[in-house]
């Protein structure tokens, strides 16, 4: 029985020793909370401004990148256009000469056919070559 009483006293005393006392909320605590709130508000505003600056900088970088890509595409288009123009102008004299040669061939064939009507030997040669 003594053990039970002893245990009861120890439990009762322990609970009183570890009991939470209510700490009053002082004006100093209130002022400290207000300072923390204002510093948090300032920090929030600073971070928002900084994120806005970073976002604007990213937009500038993207616009610069788009400009670089457009300039590169323009240079490529001009180079391809110049190559096509150069090819056409380089081939123009040869195409003209080829056209003249074909016209002369047609004239020569007409002359040979006319002359072959008077010369049977020439007619046989033209016939053998399939002209």
DSSP string over 32-63: HHHHHHHHHHHHHHHHHHHHHHHHHHHHHHHH
Distances (CA, A) of 39 to 34, 35, 64: 9, 6, 37
Asked whether residue 127 carries a pLDDT value surpassing 70, the answer given is yes
The pTM for the full model equals 0.48
pLDDT band at 15 (very low <50, low <70, confident <90, very high): low
Average pLDDT over every residue of 87-93: 85
pLDDT of residue 96: 87
Distances (CA, A) of 89 to 28, 83, 93: 91, 10, 8
Under DSSP, is residue 85 helix (H, G, I), strand (E, B) or coil? helix
Kindly give, in sequence order, each residue whose CB lies less than 8 Å from that of residue 110, ignoring residues fewer than 6 positions away.
none
> The tokens of 96 are what?
């003209």
Max Cα-Cα span within the chain = 159
């Amino acid at each position: 029985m003594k053990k039970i009483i002893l245990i009861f006293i120890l439990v009762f005393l322990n609970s009183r020793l570890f009991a939470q006392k209510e700490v009053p909320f002082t004006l100093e605590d209130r002022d400290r909370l207000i300072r923390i709130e204002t510093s948090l508000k300032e920090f929030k505003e600073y971070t928002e401004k900084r994120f806005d600056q970073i976002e604007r900088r990213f937009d500038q970088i993207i616009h610069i990148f788009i400009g670089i890509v457009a300039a590169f595409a323009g240079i490529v288009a001009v180079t391809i256009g110049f190559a096509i123009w150069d090819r056409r102008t380089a081939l123009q004299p040869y195409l003209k000469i080829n056209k003249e040669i074909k016209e002369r061939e047609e004239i020569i064939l007409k002359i040979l056919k006319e002359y072959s009507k008077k010369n049977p030997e020439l007619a046989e040669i033209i016939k053998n070559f399939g002209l």
